[in-house]
Amino acid sequence: MQKRKSEKRKIIVVTAYDALFTRIAEEAGIDVLLVGDSLGVVVQGKKDTLSVTMEDMLYHTRLVAGAAQRSLVIGDMPFLSYQASVEEAVRNAGRFLQAGAAAVKLEGGQAVADRVQAMTRFGIPVMGHVGMTPQSMHAYGGYKVQGKGKQPAARILSDARAVEAAGAFALVLEAIPADLAKRITRAVSIPTIGIGAGRHCDGQVLVLYDLLGLFDDFTPKFVKPYAHLKADALQALRRYREEVEQGKFPTDAESYH
């Protein structure tokens, strides 16, 4: 990833939660698969990510890592898996590697720098995540853009620097003004991966079901649906229902004789 930054070639990241979409994403040439705790919302149907457990994350990490052939698989550390102590953080991070991930991601800046340092010291590559960190949504009063104004922007910049200094190999910048993301991308030597952070980051990440147009309970401004799979699925399921009701499916072609 570091080489990509220096060569100014964008790093392409999507979230993945299962084997089927892992294979599709790899066929499409995606570089990095993040087993995001966003699965709490898009797979489990919860309103936020806070109830996602280590067991949930390890299960999905095994599915993705088991199917991935060439992409970098990163496991996202869920709420309460790294906050309580450095020791617990390292142990839980190690469990992601045992499940097949090549690295972990955790949210936070200066507050988690000691965790990042301990993990990297023990050979666990870490991706940082600063800006709007969804596990802190209650502290923000909801999912809100962060880093607007001089002081909040300076805080996020020093968070980014702290995570870099602690040894992270890359950094997610979420929901911050594009200008701030540009400054951070220039200020740190590790690649920045943006989500709602404008075009100047070294790479981009989107939640897979958002970019496929499968999940539309809420759509943040930064999401661009590249397909409309929910509409296609609805149409297919309605046609199937109608054809069964009308006796049009199955026909002889779909029957054994």
Q: Minimum distance between the CB of residue 160 and ligand KIV, rounded to whole angstroms?
A: 15
Angle between helical axes of 113-121 and 86-98 (0-180°, round to 10):
50
Please identify, using beta-carbon distances, which residue of 36 and 191 lies nearer to ligand KIV: 36
The minimum distance between CB 195 and ligand KIV, in angstroms, equals 5
Residues that bind ligand KIV (CB under 6 A): 15, 34, 36-38, 76, 172, 174, 195, 205, 207
* Residue 174 among the catalytic residues: yes
Cα distance between residue 104 and residue 35, in whole Å: 9
Instruction: Report the residue number, 152 or 220, with the smaller CB distance to ligand KIV.
Output: 220
With a CB cutoff of 8 Å and minimum separation 6, the contacts of 245 are none
CB of 24 to ligand KIV, least distance (A): 17
> Considering only CA atoms, which of 212, 140, 222, 219 is closest in space to residue 173?
222
Closest to ligand KIV by CB, 105 or 241: 105
> What are the backbone dihedrals phi and psi of residue 173, each rounded to the nearest 5 degrees, phi first?
-115, 115
What residues have CB less than 8 Å from 118, skipping those under 6 apart? 86, 89, 90
Catalytic hit among 26, 55, 174, 254 = 174
The closest alpha carbon to 193, from 27, 40, 51, 32, belongs to: 32
Please choose, from the candidates 175, 174, 168, the residue with its C-alpha nearest in 3D space to the C-alpha of residue 191: 168
CB of 172 to ligand KIV, least distance (A): 5
> How far is residue 73's CA from residue 48's CA, in Å, rounded to a whole number?
23
- Rounded to a whole number of angstroms, the CA Rg of the chain reads 20
Name which of 106 and 113 has its Cβ closer to ligand KIV.
106
Q: How far is the CB of 13 from ligand KIV (least distance, A)?
A: 8
CA 82/CA 139 separation, integer angstroms:
18
In contact, 132 and 175? CB cutoff 8 Å: yes
* Residue nearest ligand KIV by beta-carbon distance: 36
By annotation, the residues acting in catalysis are: 174
